Structure 1
Amino acid sequence: MAEMTFDPPRVDTGRQPLLLGTFGHTVNDAYTAFLPALLPTFHRHLGLDEATLAGLVALFGLSASLPGPLLGRLSDRFGEVPVTAASVLFSSVLLSLLVVVPSASLLFALVAVAGLGSAAIHPAGSMLVRRGARRPEFAVALFSAGGMLGYAAGPGLIAVARDIAGPALPVVLILPGLVAAAAILAFAPRNADSSVRPVAAAPRFDIRLVFGPVGLITLATASAFLPATAVLNGLPLYLMERHGLPETDPAIAGMLSTFSLAAAAGGIGIGFLAGRLPRTWLLAGVMSAGMPAFLALLWLAPGTAGFMVSLAAAGALSYAATPILVVAAQDLAPQAGATAAGMVFGLGFALAGLLYFGVGALQAQIGVGAALSIAFVAPIVSAILSVVVLRRAPAALPAPLIESLCACAAASGTGIVTCAPSCALSCNGVSRNA
């Protein structure tokens, strides 16, 4: 008889990790928004000029992204629950200290270390929310959307805390992170509570992840996220030059808010569709459909109905590839799922920023509009890579039918041979064949 490698599934396995992982990501990213919200304070009280503040932001971006694959190893080794909780607590403590940092040297040191919390939570949290989920792309999409919502709420959290805390401001700011970390540790099921037995992690970082299909997924991520990076950093400048808008024009602030909210909604929508449509062609379609919406922003006048529709469409499609790319990378590295997710979340975003430096250099040579046009068509590279690579990723059959068959086989103890080769369930966040 075939030996079944999973236990009978429990009904609520996927919901609790999903809620707790998303909650932790929301709280963590609220703290990451403290830095941009406090830049005027650093300028006023520490005397930092614009170039120094830009360097501070860049330093945090590197700290919060590049160590992702290495910190993902912690999750693969020790489990996603303790690493997710520790990441939230780490970010809450260090980033809350920004409000009382006394000097520029300590500020840079604090920022350089504080980004590690975000670098760790993305691979660990994305594995946690997948635990037992029937639609892993949808789970990762909710996880990503929670981070965007938290980032939007961060500046408001500082404002409210200042009104009620007084001298105890850092302590008050730490409390949400402390509560979130405690809730994750107390209520998130460990591997022993999962519906599938854990898979042993690889003993060390596998360099083949970089040069194999996961590395190609990371490159696809970089080109897929380049248009969003260009919108958030370059489009305001273009609108100021082409349409004569002042930098304080409400249209610019409204543009960024609309784009971010649409991105959160789009990621959830695509994550929902990923369980119902072939993910390879869905991913290619999302990237292809986004290019006309991005390019239209260069020709339409800001504030018009057409501009807002194109902006919302571009935002909805900008990060929609995230859940599909993250899940594909995890499935391609079944013994190092968090490390693979760290490559997508960390190196992918870092490479997108590096590519934007090239776009910035082109702006001086060929103009802002022409350079942004190149950035906006970059997802075609990602679409090609995705079609090639995702054909090699393990694909699960529709969950309800297969889970029912395999649960029946496991419950009966018969070990039905015809069920074993085709059954795919989430094992510690990674699809595994029974």
Structure 2
Amino acid sequence: MTTTKPRQDRRGAAPIAVLAVGHAAVDLYQGVVPALVPFLVAERALDYRSAAGVVLAATLLSSIVQPLFGALTDRWAMPWLIPAATVAAGAGVGLAGLFGPYALVCAAVALSGVGVAAYHPESARLARAASGNSHTRMGWFSLGGNVGFALAPLLVGPVLAVGGLGATPWLAVPAVAAAVCTAPVVRGLAARSAAASAARGGGGRDDWPGFLRLSAVIGCRSVVFVGLSSFIALYAGQRLGTGGAAGTAALFTLFAGGAVGTVLGGRLAARWGRVRTVRLSYAAAVPAVAGLLLVPGPALYGFAALVSLALYVPFSLQVTLGQDYLPSRVGTASGVTLGLAVSVGGLAGPAIGLLADHVGLRTALAPLAVLCGLAWLLAWGLVEPTGAAAEGGAGPVAGEREDAGEALGRP
């Protein structure tokens, strides 16, 4: 009897591991776009506003169509969409460096953004079904995306340093490999996802006020994170005076800290509950962002890591909260929450860039600390969802604690 549960845990963990790898490949291309910005500035002589426009092109259309994909997956299971979307995300980035005209560059990264948008709602549904409502396992799924984000500057820097923007087709290779690896697994998870969605749909009513408040919190986070990810490489180069290497290191730190934060978020939610963890995270983000902008010297890297932790601890928790606030519309909830994670920030990016052109980059980024405070205030109105869909989500249930300890390699 003592060997049955670990064997079941390992069997349940295997699909999450595969989905996490696929998630890493897709979110790699979200990280590639801001990592391309310094190279576009150098080779195409873009100003801050135009550079932010490239990031906007990758996020605006994505944010519009992602809830639509979510609504579609509420009506029909679409496992084939996951590998297809992965390939599209890579293809757009692969084409971006081959085009000279600015409009075509934006169109290419927009294609990548649509691929990212198509991927997330269905993959979030499958991951929730495979996780068995475990916050820790959902954290591992989200960790895959954060790892992809973190690897983006490490991939882009060497490839484009050698081949310039004309080498961007090589950046599409991870997408093709991930699509081949994940296609057989997602097909097998479709039936489990349908059963889980049916169970959640019958287990509670949709809480639209709670979902809208959560969406406002995510919107604030989006502006902060996308604003920093778009400009931290340029900001670090200016502050430390070491050029592109300092910027790449700062961007990597911002993304890599998110990998740790996502896993930590699952463990903290198992002990304290999701809502309390979200509140504490945004409270910590306020001094972290202020330190990033105000403290001089290499301490910038330490504050970048703290900002990343604070912004990523609540990331996967917000996804499952959204799903539990709308138990009959899990795909729509996933599409909106994941779409808002990048869309609002993408819309604000050009405004930050325009302001930076006039008053300097540090001054333009200063309001981001205020937005962290606003997210914290909004989070005080959130409550843990009740009902079958939120099972195991309100606090430290025994099974979740055990799973969290196993996932982190602790007794």
Pick the aligned partner of 1:302 from 277, 290, 297. 297
Pick the aligned partner of 2:279 from 280, 284, 287. 284
1:179 aligns with 2:173: no
- How many percent of aligned residue pairs carry the same amino acid? 24
Letter in 2 for 1:311: A
Kindly provide the CA deviation profile for residues 211-232 of structure 1, in whole angstroms up to 9, marking residues without a partner as x. 6432221111112344334433
Kindly provide the CA deviation profile for residues 387-418 of structure 1, in whole angstroms up to 9, marking residues without a partner as x. 3233445442466569xxxxxxxxxxxxxxxx
1:223 aligns with 2:216: no
The unaligned stretches of length 5 or more in structure 2 are 1-6, 401-411
Kindly provide the CA deviation profile for residues 275-305 of structure 1, in whole angstroms up to 9, marking residues without a partner as x. 222222121111112212222234422214x
Aligned to 1:270: 265
Aligned Cα RMSD in Å? 4.2
Aligned to 1:420: none
Residue 330 of structure 1 and its aligned partner are, at CA, apart by 0.6
* Equivalent residues of 1:68, 1:347 under 8 A apart: no
Name the CA distance, whole Å, in 1 between partners of 2:227 and 2:33. 21
Pick the aligned partner of 1:119 from 102, 117, 128. 117
* Equivalent residues of 1:267, 1:319 under 8 A apart: yes
Q: 1:169 to 1:270 in 2, by over 3 A?
A: closer
Task: Map 1:109-188; keep pairs closer than 5 Å.
Answer: 109-134=107-132, 136-154=134-152, 157=155, 170=169, 174-188=172-186
Residue 333 of structure 1 and its aligned partner are, at CA, apart by 1.2
Letter in 2 for 1:316: L
1:20 aligns with 2:15: no
Name the CA distance, whole Å, in 2 between partners of 1:177 and 1:48. 29
Name the CA distance, whole Å, in 2 between partners of 1:88 and 1:399. 35
Q: Scaled by the length of structure 1, what TM-score is found?
A: 0.72
Task: Give the secondary structure class of the aligned counterpart of 1:301.
Answer: coil
* Equivalent residues of 1:32, 1:95 under 8 A apart: no
Aligned to 1:312: 305
Letter in 1 for 2:270: G
Residue 106 of structure 1 and its aligned partner are, at CA, apart by 4.3
Q: 1:380 to 1:97 in 2, by over 3 A?
A: closer
Name the CA distance, whole Å, in 1 between partners of 2:36 and 2:301. 29
Name the CA distance, whole Å, in 2 between partners of 1:97 and 1:296. 38
Q: 1:52 to 1:369 in 2, by over 3 A?
A: closer
Letter in 1 for 2:107: A
Aligned to 1:199: 198
Letter in 1 for 2:94: S
Stretch deviating more after TM superposition (391-400 or 316-325): 391-400
Stretch deviating more after TM superposition (369-378 or 218-227): 369-378
Name the CA distance, whole Å, in 2 between partners of 1:199 and 1:351. 31
1:248 aligns with 2:243: yes
Kindly provide the CA deviation profile for residues 232-254 of structure 1, in whole angstroms up to 9, marking residues without a partner as x. 3566777788x6x5472754443
* Equivalent residues of 1:75, 1:338 under 8 A apart: yes
* Equivalent residues of 1:161, 1:173 under 8 A apart: no
Task: Give the secondary structure class of the aligned counterpart of 2:26.
Answer: helix
Letter in 1 for 2:147: L
Task: Map 1:379-394; keep pairs closer than 5 Å.
Answer: 379-392=372-385, 394=387
Aligned to 2:56: 58
Task: Give the secondary structure class of the aligned counterpart of 2:79.
Answer: helix
Q: 1:201 to 1:323 in 2, by over 3 A?
A: closer
Q: 1:33 to 1:372 in 2, by over 3 A?
A: closer
* Equivalent residues of 1:226, 1:353 under 8 A apart: yes
Name the CA distance, whole Å, in 2 between partners of 1:350 and 1:75. 20
Kindly provide the CA deviation profile for residues 118-170 of structure 1, in whole angstroms up to 9, marking residues without a partner as x. 11222222222222324543333333332232234346556569999xx9995
Aligned to 2:3: none
Q: 1:76 to 1:254 in 2, by over 3 A?
A: same
Q: Could you say which structure has the higher helix fraction?
A: 2
Q: Scaled by the length of structure 2, what TM-score is found?
A: 0.75
Name the CA distance, whole Å, in 1 between partners of 2:367 and 2:314. 19
Stretch deviating more after TM superposition (112-121 or 25-34): 25-34
Residue 92 of structure 1 and its aligned partner are, at CA, apart by 2.8
Q: 1:41 to 1:365 in 2, by over 3 A?
A: closer
Q: 1:368 to 1:115 in 2, by over 3 A?
A: closer
Letter in 2 for 1:380: G
Letter in 1 for 2:221: A
Name the CA distance, whole Å, in 1 between partners of 2:10 and 2:193. 10
Q: 1:120 to 1:59 in 2, by over 3 A?
A: same
Letter in 2 for 1:199: A
* Equivalent residues of 1:21, 1:126 under 8 A apart: no
Letter in 2 for 1:216: R
**Number of residues paired by the alignment?**
382
Residue 14 of structure 1 and its aligned partner are, at CA, apart by 3.1
* Equivalent residues of 1:14, 1:130 under 8 A apart: no
Name the CA distance, whole Å, in 2 between partners of 1:135 and 1:29. 23
* Equivalent residues of 2:74, 2:331 under 8 A apart: yes
Aligned to 1:343: 336
Kindly provide the CA deviation profile for residues 239-278 of structure 1, in whole angstroms up to 9, marking residues without a partner as x. 788x6x5472754443332222112211211122212222
Aligned to 1:190: 189
Larger radius of gyration: 1
